[in-house]
């Protein structure tokens, strides 16, 4: 990933195969960090800040005007992706990123502020859709930091603002209940624009804008196909939004959403650019670069006059080469036709899947409350019966032990009586009668 920047000393920041490199205007490259998962860039008032995110509970921040110094940022939770830097109008730098959530499949959205040092992490929301493009943040002239993010379940779009004075986030407001993705703020001097994509019958591109209050939702794309590859372009402070839709490539001026112009995708380069406190996907016209190179070549040729010469004869094309070119053209045409058919089949499959999702209805939920109540009541009765049975059993055992003790005492008394009778002396008549 190569991010171009507007800075007097540096021209780009590159993340390739885990190595984070910054390139100077003189063409020199400096290695900043190894084993980097993600990178965020901000350029404000000539100060460049580059945050290198690792798969750890901390990150490294490189900042400065000429020489970059490093500083460690503590997260206290493992990094989960989507790191972004944005500056407000009061000299503060805001860092937003996703952290791995202990419970559930969503992520935590975390926020830290740099004034003289980095603040402790603050959780903005739980259960955020775990994708690096699931949220966007931007400063606006109304004095608030604005934030949108996609929830995990069904991916609705939520909106919050951050109060710098109280250092608290507002409650969440639902901007869209549809399945949303890729929200992106575009701040201009007077207006804050918010773009996002919604999955309807087709994926559509929508927008809202804010001066004093938020405008109603407007649809940018035609809706005839799936909107994709959304990017932006700025020329002479005039912003455009560009996107692909089926086999066509559209562009619309800001605030003129229905005035769509069809362009050739081949005429644009897709680049990442750090525009102030936003890292945006921009479309750059190739013709401008080619024209500037041609102008340079023509000016160089004018400095050194070349003697006139007769045009060289046009060589005849080799029949074998012509046949090869014809075969290559046929193969390329067949490949393009096959690719177009594959794209059509994929779009039909997506449309069929969308239709099945619309037609599929979940069965009505069954109210199990009465059954659960009866089961709980039966459980309580069984528990009471079990306790009563145990008490009765214990009482019987106690009574049996008392009876055994009484029988033992009675036997001992009988034995004592028998022994007493045996040892008593016999009278005269008892002896006489006993002999008879």
Tell me if 183 sits within 8 A of 148, measured CB to CB: yes
Token duo for residue 19: 């190595």
pLDDT class of 148 with cuts at 50, 70, 90: very high
Percent of the chain with pLDDT over 90: 45
Q: Which residues contact 373 (CB under 8 A, 6 or more apart)?
A: none
**What pLDDT was estimated at residue 331?**
66
In Å, how far are 147, 233, 240, 244 from 261, measured between CA atoms? 30, 14, 11, 12
* Residue 8 pLDDT > 60: yes
**What pLDDT was estimated at residue 249?**
93
* Residue 255 pLDDT > 80: yes
Nearest to 96 by CA among 106, 107, 82: 82
Left, alpha or beta for 295 (phi > 0: left; psi -120 to 50: alpha)? Answer: alpha
**What pLDDT was estimated at residue 106?**
85
Tell me if 214 sits within 8 A of 189, measured CB to CB: no
**What pLDDT was estimated at residue 135?**
95
**pLDDT tens digits, 80-93:** 999 999 998 888 99
**pLDDT tens digits, 377-400:** 888 888 888 888 888 888 898 889
* Residue 301 pLDDT > 50: no
* Residue 13 pLDDT > 90: yes
Q: Which residues contact 35 (CB under 8 A, 6 or more apart)?
A: 18, 54, 55
**What pLDDT was estimated at residue 45?**
86
**pLDDT tens digits, 26-36:** 888 899 999 99
Mean of pLDDT values over 342-346? 65
- Helix spans in 360-368 (H): none
**What pLDDT was estimated at residue 434?**
66
Mean of pLDDT values over 275-292? 73
Least confident window among 127-136, 276-285, 416-425: 416-425
Percent of the chain with pLDDT over 70: 83
The separation between the first and the last C-alpha atoms of the chain, rounded to the nearest angstrom, is 133
* Residue 309 pLDDT > 70: no
**What pLDDT was estimated at residue 46?**
87
Local structure of residue 267 (DSSP, 8 states): G
Q: Could you give the 3-state DSSP secondary structure of residue 131?
A: coil
Burial 326-355 (b: 16+ CB within 10 A, else e): eeeeeeeeeeeeeeeeeeeeeeeeeeeebe
Least confident window among 115-119, 268-272, 331-335, 366-370: 331-335
- Biggest CA-to-CA distance, the chain: 180
Q: Could you give the 3-state DSSP secondary structure of residue 9?
A: coil
Q: What is the chain's mean pLDDT, rounded?
A: 84
**What pLDDT was estimated at residue 235?**
86
> Which pTM value belongs to this model?
0.65
| Measured distance CA(89)–CA(277) in Å, rounded | 11
Token duo for residue 97: 């990123």
Nearest to 38 by CA among 340, 272, 377: 272
pLDDT class of 347 with cuts at 50, 70, 90: low
Q: Which residues contact 8 (CB under 8 A, 6 or more apart)?
A: 25, 46
- Helix spans in 284-436 (H): 286-303, 319-359, 369-423, 428-435
**What pLDDT was estimated at residue 335?**
62
- Strand ranges inside 142-275, DSSP E: 144-150, 157-163, 168-169, 173-176, 179-187, 192-199, 203-210, 218-219, 227-235, 238-245, 248-253, 261-263, 268-275
**pLDDT tens digits, 402-428:** 999 999 899 888 888 888 877 777 777
| Measured distance CA(72)–CA(294) in Å, rounded | 47
């Amino acid at each position: 990933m190569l991010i171009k920047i507007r800075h007097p000393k540096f021209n780009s920041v590159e993340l390739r195969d885990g190595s984070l490199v910054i390139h100077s205007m003189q063409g020199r490259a400096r290695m900043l960090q190894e084993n980097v998962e993600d990178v965020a860039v901000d350029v404000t008032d000539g100060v460049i800040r580059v945050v290198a995110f690792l798969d750890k509970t901390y990150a490294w921040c490189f900042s400065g005007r000429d020489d970059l110094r490093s500083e460690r940022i503590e997260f206290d939770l493992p990094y989960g992706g989507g790191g972004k830097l944005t500056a407000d109008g009061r000299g503060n730098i805001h860092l937003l990123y996703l952290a791995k959530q202990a419970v559930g499949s969503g992520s935590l959205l975390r926020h830290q502020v740099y004034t003289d040092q980095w603040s402790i992490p603050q959780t903005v929301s739980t259960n955020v859709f775990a994708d690096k493009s699931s949220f966007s943040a931007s400063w606006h002239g109304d004095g608030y930091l604005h934030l949108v993010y996609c929830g995990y379940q069904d991916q609705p779009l939520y909106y919050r603002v951050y109060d710098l004075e109280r250092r608290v986030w507002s409650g969440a407001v639902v901007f869209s209940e549809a399945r949303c993705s890729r929200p992106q703020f575009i701040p201009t001097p007077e207006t804050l624009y918010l773009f996002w994509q919604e999955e309807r019958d087709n994926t559509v591109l929508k927008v809202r804008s804010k001066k004093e209050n938020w405008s109603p939702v407007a649809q940018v794309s035609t809706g005839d196909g799936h909107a994709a590859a959304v990017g932006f372009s700025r020329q002479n402070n005039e912003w455009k939004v560009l996107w692909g839709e089926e086999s066509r490539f559209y562009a619309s001026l800001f605030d003129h959403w229905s005035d769509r112009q069809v362009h050739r995708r081949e005429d644009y380069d897709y680049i990442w650019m750090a525009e102030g406190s936003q890292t945006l996907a921009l479309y750059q016209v190739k013709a401008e670069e080619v024209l500037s190179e041609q102008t340079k070549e023509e000016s160089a040729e004018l400095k050194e006059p070349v003697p006139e010469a007769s045009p060289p004869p046009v060589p005849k094309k080799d029949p074998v080469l012509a046949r090869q070119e014809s075969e290559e053209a046929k193969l390329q045409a067949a490949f393009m036709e096959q690719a177009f058919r594959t794209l059509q089949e994929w779009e039909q499959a997506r449309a069929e899947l969308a239709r099945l999702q619309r037609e599929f209805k979940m069965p009505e939920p069954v109210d199990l409350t009465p059954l659960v109540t009866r089961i709980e009541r039966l459980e309580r009765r069984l528990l009471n019966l079990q306790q009563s049975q145990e008490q009765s059993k214990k009482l019987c055992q106690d009574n049996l032990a008392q009876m055994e003790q009484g029988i033992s005492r009675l036997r001992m008394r009988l034995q004592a009586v028998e022994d007493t009778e045996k040892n008593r002396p016999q009278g005269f008549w008892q002896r006489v009668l006993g002999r008879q």
